[in-house]
Chains A and B, each alone.
Chain A
């Protein structure tokens, strides 16, 4: 610490220093602080706390501009499943079975009414349009599962609750945001995690291994989570030509192009299968 203070004073005084001298100073500071510090720096990177990304970062990351949308179009569609439905995985419960039940059933693809539920559909390249209108982002831990299983949120804060009597930990595996691993228990019922950048974040509990959620941080407001029948709807879309993407946790990503006309409804269908994904026709 004293070295850093002294070097700041040195620069403030405006002492004429040659490049060679500056190099010496840098080397000196590095020499004095770097030895043996490398592992600690790594620890900061691997186990940071959440909530440090700034709103300025998210604005520059998304590049999305909010403006009034008049006479926008609507995209209505469904994400269909083709082929035999993948069998669920049955996981015997090895912790807290009195609360969590004896076994949990994990669906790699949740097919409801011929369509895929819990897929996320969004306009990937839209640059301007309506303001974010998502509900407040809240992820609950209830009866040893995350509710909802897939959550779409705008960049910002995620409230994580626990409605369960036993401890959980919320371990996030982001791609571009900061990883978090927070304990929750009877004394910690609610925490806030910050996701400032568009991302798809896997969320796990390190005690109850079957618990899994996905938080999709949206780069624009034109995102939807599919429901029964794989149905989705995107409203107030400015007229234009867009790339429409779909993501599902085990099937990955697929896309197709879509034209939106003023005041018109565009119908879209994705057909996904375990062998690959196909973009179906735009009606």
Chain B
């Protein structure tokens, strides 16, 4: 029988059987992975580093929830959230992991999904995670490339879903993990387009017109004005290696991320794990992008996180890192 087959058909068979065997092997490998549920944290907290030496199947449970909450003192807004938080949870995995996402949609009238920038494939997974009102979608994705990635809703109309709060960060650690840091923080910048002007009290509806004109009323860190000030200020000690996972969802503006009083000793530009840049004062973070910055405060006191498009501090883009510890007059001293 084989003799009458052309070479072409033989190639088909060989390649096909190889493909089938490869498929089976991949399925077996994935089935053999340990299954763990992701430890999710909310800004500014970051999950602990991945200590596994090999990949796992990581279950990530997300729930799209709409809720009205405070955007600024006395100002409320209808947020669309993952798991009731803006930004959504920080997801931490390692390269090679298979992330199994369970998205429940509690909305009664809106479809939601997730576009993971960490996913290789159409829509970053959004088409297969589309969950109708009251529905649930489940899909899995292999993490192929280490980096710090944005995720966000991509249901129509996408800009409005992003502008309403559906976004977060996913870190894919490289094999072998990252160097130890003493403090890790999750900070995400975003804009809000309210019908009322900045500071107008009361409930403020979302404004499609302002979003389209790219004229935000609020530019904030971690979902609201004042999230990183007062009781929310970040804390560290002199000498700590501080690592900030910083994301900028936009949806329109580029961030010029800067820490007043700090020099970034390492910048993993745009979230990639190439050789980090050193001695950076301000790093540009595109809308829909992220960066990892590290520095070691050597002098106690208050360090201020800003978008150095500086008028945005008046719209909410300001936070504090309070550093405690011994004075260092050899570095920083008032003379008169």
**A residues engaging B (CB < 8 A)?**
3, 6-7, 9-10, 13, 15-18, 20-21, 24-25, 27-36, 39-40, 42-43, 46-47, 92-98, 165-169, 171, 173, 181-183, 185-186, 204, 206-207, 209-210
B11–chain A nearest beta-carbon distance, Å: 7
Q: Which of chain A's residues has its CB closest to B23's CB?
A: A35
The answer to whether A15 and B205 touch across the interface, beta carbons within 8 angstroms, is: no
Does B9 contact A183, Cβ atoms closer than 8 Å?
A: no
Set of chain A residues within 8 Å of B139, measured between Cβ atoms: 39
Q: Kindly state the separation between the CA atoms of A93 and B109 in the bound complex, as whole angstroms.
A: 13
Name the residue on B nearest A43 (C-beta). Answer: B127
- Cα A18 to Cα B21 in complex, Å, equals 23
Q: Select A96's contact among B6, B26, B205, beta carbons within 8 Å.
A: B205
Verify A98–B195 contact, CB threshold 8 A.
yes
**A31-B21, A47-B127 known; A167+B16 contact, CB < 8 A:** no
Chain B residues near A (Cβ < 8 Å): 1, 4-6, 8-9, 11-13, 15-23, 26-27, 68, 78, 107-111, 121-123, 127-128, 130, 132, 139-140, 155-161, 195, 203, 205-209, 212
B295 to chain A, nearest CB (A): 40
Taking CB as reference atom, which chain B residue is nearest A94?
A: B78
In Å, the complex CA distance between A99 and B1 comes to 74
A210 contacts which of B20, B26, B109, B206 (Cβ < 8 Å)?
A: B109
| Chain A interface SS verdict (over half) | mixed
| B160 pairs with A9, CB closer than 8 A | no
CB-contact partner of A169 in B123, B156, B206, under 8 A: B156
Contact A168 B108 (CB under 8 A): no
CB distance from A81 to the nearest CB of B (A): 25
B8 near A6 with CB under 8 A, answer: yes
Instruction: Please name the residue on chain A nearest to B2 by beta carbon.
Output: A21
What separation, in Å, do the CA atoms of A182 and B155 have in the docked complex? Answer: 10
Give 25 CB contacts A-B under 8 Å.
A3-B16, A7-B12, A10-B12, A13-B6, A18-B1, A27-B16, A28-B19, A30-B16, A31-B19, A32-B15, A35-B26, A39-B140, A40-B121, A40-B122, A43-B123, A47-B127, A166-B212, A168-B157, A171-B111, A173-B132, A181-B155, A183-B157, A206-B109, A206-B161, A209-B107
- CB pair A9–B8 under 8 Å, yes or no, is yes
Contact (Cβ within 8 A) B156 A39: no
A25-B13, A28-B16, A94-B78 known; A167 vs B160 contact (CB < 8 Å): yes
- In whole angstroms, how far apart are the Cα atoms of A9 and B27 in the complex? 31
B11: A residues at CB distance < 8 A = 6
- Evaluate whether A3 and B15 lie within 8 angstroms (CB atoms) in the complex, with A169-B157, A209-B109 already known: yes
Within 8 Å CB of B110, what residues of A?
206-207, 209
Chain A CB count within 10 A is highest, among B159, B195, B205, for B205
A275 to B139, CA, bound (A): 41
State the CA gap A44–B59 with chains docked (Å): 24
Q: How many A-B residue pairs have CB under 8 A?
A: 151
Interface centre among A7, A42, A95 (most CB of B within 10 A): A95
The chain A residue with its CB closest to the CB of B139 is A39
Contacts of B156 in A (CB 8 A): 169, 171, 181-183, 206
Closest chain B residue to A98, Cβ basis: B195
Known contacts A209-B107, A209-B110; decide if A35 and B19 are in contact (CB<8 Å). yes
**Residues of A with C-beta under 8 A to B68:** 94
Q: A28-B12, A28-B13, A40-B128 are in contact. List 11 more A-B contacts (CB 8 A).
A: A10-B6, A20-B1, A21-B5, A25-B9, A40-B121, A43-B122, A98-B205, A166-B208, A173-B132, A186-B212, A209-B108
User: Are the C-beta atoms of B128 and A39 separated by less than 8 Å?
Assistant: yes
**Which 9 pairs from chain A and chain B are nearest by CB?**
A28-B16, A31-B20, A35-B23, A209-B109, A43-B127, A166-B208, A32-B19, A94-B78, A169-B156
**Do A31 and B9 touch (CB < 8 A)?**
no
A206 to B153, CA, bound (A): 12
Cα A201 to Cα B78 in complex, Å, equals: 28
Report A211 CB to chain B, min CB distance, Å. Answer: 9
With the chains together, A43 CA to B27 CA distance in Å? 20
Chain A residues with CB under 8 Å of B5's CB are 15, 17, 21
Would B157 and A15 count as touching, CB distance under 8 A?
A: no
Assembled-state Cα–Cα distance A173/B78 (Å): 25
Q: How far is the CB of A105 from chain B (nearest CB, A)?
A: 15
Residues of A within 8 A of B16 (CB): 3, 24-25, 27-32
Query: Which B residues touch A171, using CB under 8 A?
Result: 111, 156
Q: Which of B13, B122, B158, B203 has the most chain A CB atoms inside 10 A of its CB?
A: B13
Q: A13-B6, A94-B205, A95-B208 are in contact. Are A35 and B22 (CB under 8 A)?
A: yes
Q: Which residues of chain B have C-beta atoms less than 8 A from A173's C-beta?
A: 132
Assuming the A-B contacts A47-B127, A183-B157, are A10 and B208 also in contact, with contact meaning beta carbons closer than 8 angstroms in the complex? no
- Take A15-B9, A168-B157 as given contacts and tell me if A204 and B1 are in contact as well, using a CB distance cutoff of 8 Å: no
Contact present for B128 and A43 (CB under 8 Å): yes
Could you say which residues of chain B place their CB within 8 Å of the CB of A15? 4-6, 9
Most buried by B among A21, A165, A182: A21
Cβ contacts under 8 Å, A21 to chain B: 1, 5
Determine the residue in chain B with the shortest Cβ distance to A171: B111
* CB-based contact B128/A42 at 8 Å: yes
Report the minimum CB–CB distance from B204 to chain A (whole Å).
9
B195 — which chain A residues lie within 8 A by C-beta? Answer: 96-98
Q: Which of B123, B140, B155 contacts A206 (CB 8 A)?
A: B155
Cα-based distance from A140 to B3 in the complex (angstroms) = 66
